[in-house]
Amino acid sequence: MFSRFNVLWLRRFAFPENVRYYAGVHQKNPHLKPATATVETIKAKLASSSTPTAEEWKSIRLNILNERRFNITNVDSVVLGLCPNLRMGKSYIAFLHQQGLQTNLAIVGKLLRLYRLKEGKLTEQDESDIWRMYSELREQNAILDANTCEHAINALTLTKHWKHCLELLEMIKISGTPDSSSYNCIATKAFQSGDESTGWIMMQEMCENKRLPNDDSFLAWLDYSRKREDQPFSANLERMLQFTHDCSVFLSKRIGKQLLELPSEFGIRVQETRITDGGKCSSCKGSLSSIVVSEDMFQSLRDKFLTAVLINKEIFNRTTPEELNRFQAFLAKTLPYDVVIDGLNVAFSSGNQKSPIVYAQQVAAVVRHYVRQKKRVLVIGRKHMDKWRSREMKYIRENSFLFLTDDLSQDDPFLLYAALESGPKTDFFSRDLMRKHSFMLGNELSGVFKRWQQEHQYSLLSIMPDGRVLIKAPFKYELYAHKSCDNRWHVPLVELGYRIPKVEKQNDWLCLSIE
């Protein structure tokens, strides 16, 4: 069998380090998807409890083949991808054999994945079938493509042969990054098998690769922890909560329900609670921890931002060297500011089909709000705003500093750069989530950027008829699970943990104390 050493060797020498693709990129083609009407018709048919006859399978196959994008090479994997469970998948494979049609790599991969969707518990025969199909794949292919590896991992982690998935994970890394499902399947099985070291390695690597742990992984850890008599359950629970904090991961309400139902003998008291905008817990009356960006961390962020976001290989997608020099000269003359405003973001906050006069009124209202507080204001806009000839634009020019970038430049990097250069007390005003800029800073500084952003970003809610502005202020407290000095945890909950929620104060929290 192909060794892990050979996989790593091939990864190093056959693929340049700067070439990265998502796992299964060669098979996960969005164009190879049947029309919505076709999909709905087939799904409705397969949702029936009765298994399709040979004639019905033939009709389903022809429906897809009638679309130009499909041919005899890819049609069968598409049909299997629409099967809702293993029973339907096996029925289709039997149909193919009856028709004398051969199965290819993609078909076997899709069938393996369907073992996750079996109705009822897997039998010993099922596990034997999984191992047989996987062994045959490996005999025929020294290295599997990323997509097939992911399918195989989903199946193998249902069996005692699950550790072979670690080799498959390395194969995926040859051409891309493993998906969340692969990591979660291995982590879940590792915890179920008592291999906590492998489980946590998968969890950590998953988050480092911007993949999200799902409920199954966390539930498997909790179940494993319940069975450990040599370790206190509370210590293992705290390990999980600390992980969610360190990796900026939210737990789901499903996990929260499990925590609320913990038996009293574990010495853990859990209550549902709400957190006020001032960071107060309605249950224990305590306060959440304030977010802190130290001077050293802020300085590192400020130093790195220019080269990571504005001056890099894509500089001409954001600005030009001449414009950047002009902006830096402008900052040198006008720093510092109390607040930096994204002019177009404010202008278009009520829609982009309004007149320039309305746009200018929007921006002027926000500028006026800060000027009345005797704040020093910088507005970042684009040159076409020069055409907004109005009394409001005159007010903006006379009461704030105004820098207009070229119309083809991106203004967000200028906004953030100005706020950072101005100092750790400067706020910025925009609705933009700034995810792209956070990503470009890399793993080390991305977290620092997010905390700085959380502390300093304000945004417009609405402008009242009398000109007053309603502003959304930042929530300057920890957003993720964290522990206070009195051995108490505050844990935010989201609807679905495997979907990236908006990073803001959640409505639902748990107040958890350990005796």
Q: Are residues 327 and 429 in the same domain?
A: yes
Question: How much is the pLDDT for 505?
Answer: 85
Q: What is the per-residue pLDDT for 67?
A: 85
Domain of residue 135: give its range: 36-228
Query: Per-residue pLDDT for 8 more than 50?
Result: no
The pLDDT confidence band at residue 1, using thresholds 50, 70 and 90, is very low
User: Looking at residue 310, what is its pLDDT?
Assistant: 67
Bridge partner list, 489: 483, 512
Angle between helix axes 215-227 and 233-246 (nearest 10 degrees) is: 160
Residue 188 lies in a domain: yes
Q: Does residue 418 fall inside a structural domain?
A: yes
- What pLDDT, on the 0 to 100 scale, is given for residue 34? 80
- pLDDT (0 to 100) of residue 292: 82
Mean residue pLDDT across the chain = 88
Task: Give pLDDT tens digits for 57-90.
Answer: 999 999 999 887 888 888 999 999 999 999 999 9
Whether the CB-CB separation of 354 and 390 falls below 8 Å is answered with no
Please tell me the predicted confidence (pLDDT) of residue 10.
41
Q: How many percent of the chain have pLDDT more than 70?
A: 91
Per-residue pLDDT band at 215 (split at 50, 70, 90): very high
Note every long-range contact of 316-319, with CB atoms under 8 Å and residues 24 or more positions apart, other chains counting.
317/410, 318/409, 318/410, 318/413, 319/405, 319/406, 319/409, 319/410, 319/413, 319/414
| Residue 345 domain-assigned (yes or no) | yes
Question: Looking at 228, 251, 282, which one is the last position of a domain?
Answer: 228
Give domain status of residue 457, yes or no: yes
pLDDT value at 410 more than 80: no
Q: pTM of the prediction? A: 0.82
Does residue 220 share a domain with residue 299? no
User: CATH number, domain at 436?
Assistant: 3.40.50.11980
Residue 436 within a domain: yes
Our CA angle for 458, 462, 466, nearest 5°, is: 120
Mean pLDDT in residue range 6-28: 37
Higher pLDDT among residues 111 and 440, named by residue:
111
Query: What CATH number does residue 224 fall under?
Result: 1.25.40
Tell me the pLDDT tens digit for each residue of 89-104.
Answer: 999 999 999 999 988 8
Residue 472 in contact with residue 459, Cβ under 8 Å? yes
What's the pLDDT score for residue 312? 62
Note whether 303 and 416 are same-domain residues.
yes
Model confidence over 454-506: pLDDT tens digits? 999 999 999 998 889 999 999 999 999 999 877 899 999 999 876 666 677 89
Strands (DSSP E) found in 266-400: 268-273, 339-342, 377-382
Looking at the structure, tell me whether residues 304 and 220 fall in a common domain: no
Say if residue 64 is in the same domain as residue 166: yes
Structural domains of the chain, count: 2
Give Cβ neighbours of residue 96 (< 8 Å, ≥ 6 apart).
76, 102, 103, 107
**512 domain-assigned:** no
Q: Where are the alpha helices (DSSP H) in 160-281?
A: 165-175, 180-192, 196-208, 215-227, 233-246, 253-260
Last residue of a domain, one of 177, 197, 228: 228
Co-location of 202 and 322 in the same domain = no
Give the model's pLDDT for residue 318.
63
Q: What is the mean pLDDT of residues 364-369?
A: 96
Is residue 356's pLDDT more than 70?
yes
205/339 same-domain check: no
Identity at 184, one-letter amino acid code: N
Q: Where are the alpha helices (DSSP H) in 247-289?
A: 253-260
Rounded Cα gap, residues 201 and 219, in angstroms = 17
Question: Domain for residue 317, yes or no?
Answer: yes
Which pLDDT tens digit goes with each residue over 237-255? 999 999 999 998 999 999 9
**Which residue has better confidence, 226 or 320?**
226
Domain end among 453, 470, 487? 470
Instruction: Read off the pLDDT of each residue in 353-378 and give the average, rounded to a whole number.
Output: 93
Is pLDDT above 50 for 428? yes
Residue 402's beta-bridge partner residues?
A: 379
pLDDT at position 21 over 60: no
Answer with the residue of higher pLDDT: 463 or 31: 463
Quote the CA–CA distance of 248 and 204 in Å, as a whole number. Answer: 11
Q: What is the C-alpha separation between 304 and 285, in angstroms, rounded?
A: 39
Cα separation, 235 vs 193, in Å, equals 19
Would you say residue 208 lies in a domain? yes
306 exposure class (CB count in 10 Å sphere: 0-12, 13-18, 19+): middle
Across 320-412, the runs of DSSP E, i.e. the strands, are 339-342, 377-382, 401-405
